[in-house]
Structure 1
């Protein structure tokens, strides 16, 4: 119901905003990676719009006319520009492309938690919330020996964490055992 009421407003705004503008998510500096699910909308072009595209392990996806598109490490705005440039000219005169993130890649919790494994990421996640999703700490868990492995560019960085550390998609959390 709300979507139906907002549709005319969004249509008008799409003509007023620059081509490729993304609502909310596009202004983020979040870098896309393997496992992310995105939505691509090309205004007025149903054959070029997709509700769900999951990134491959290499951080790519197949797209009509453009072939294999490399999205790994790109922001939503950068990906919009790649698709817009690829479609402009030979295929469309003035493509209006929007990309949004539908589902972030999983994060992982291992070590001294009751249910180690992968869990779906949600914005605003902290280590405390991640531990809660993993069933809580075991009796042997150390609250002072927690670490996060995070991809930064092409490298992986390991850093010490607290319960208030923000978690990002793809992070690997390790809760060590306490000896006392």
Structure 2
């Protein structure tokens, strides 16, 4: 006959095993950041493969053909108007992809084995709005931080929120909020909105 004390010990051991199992299951669940919280996706300098867009200016060289080599600007419709071959699609392409397409178009009855190189002379601008002294359009430079961009726009207004800003990237339809740090970077074509503080 099992004593009352022994039954109690067995029940305690069973409860402890169940509690340990439940804790192990909970540890596998990934905690998600609350929606609307600032993200850190802007805390990277631009160092990926750049995608061309309207207002980018390129120096295009066609070897052996100085009459075709020139500086060209991507139009608002995403194309570059090129001699002989007309409009060449540029928006959304890398520089390498644009070079290949231009070579292909030139080889279609115009030039034999053309060689084309392109380099970005001027990136498309960025835009800064909201609580700054001089909102507007400004030229992008490599490794430009948001703090430097704000300084270019005359600095914060006295009502500015200096902790969180809103950024809408060139290809995005909605802005996102990011924490403002010394390593918050601007990307070409970004629209930065300096928010108002409410205290």
Q: Which moved more, 1:78-87 or 1:156-165?
A: 156-165
TM norm structure 2: 0.71
Task: State which structure, 1 or 2, has the greater radius of gyration over its C-alpha atoms.
Answer: 2
Indicate yes or no: 2:91 matched with 1:72: yes
Residue 157 of structure 1: how far off its partner (Å): 4.0
- Ranges in structure 2 where 5+ consecutive residues have no aligned partner: 1-46
Distance 1:134 1:54 in 2: 25
Quick check: which one's strand share is greater?
1
SS at match of 1:47: coil
Runs of 4+ in 1 over 6 A off after TM superposition: none
Residue 89 of structure 1: how far off its partner (Å): 5.0
Indicate yes or no: 2:187 matched with 1:174: no
TM norm structure 1: 0.79
Contact 1:151 1:157 in 2 (8 A): no
Residue 91 of structure 1: how far off its partner (Å): 2.0
Indicate yes or no: 2:50 matched with 1:30: yes
Q: RMSD over aligned Cα, in angstroms?
A: 1.6
The within-5 A match list for 1:1-180 is 29-50=49-70, 52-88=71-107, 90-152=109-171, 155-161=172-178, 162-163=180-181, 164-180=183-199
- Ranges in structure 1 where 5+ consecutive residues have no aligned partner: 1-26
Residue 156 of structure 1: how far off its partner (Å): 2.4
Contact 1:84 1:95 in 2 (8 A): yes
Count of equivalent residues: 151
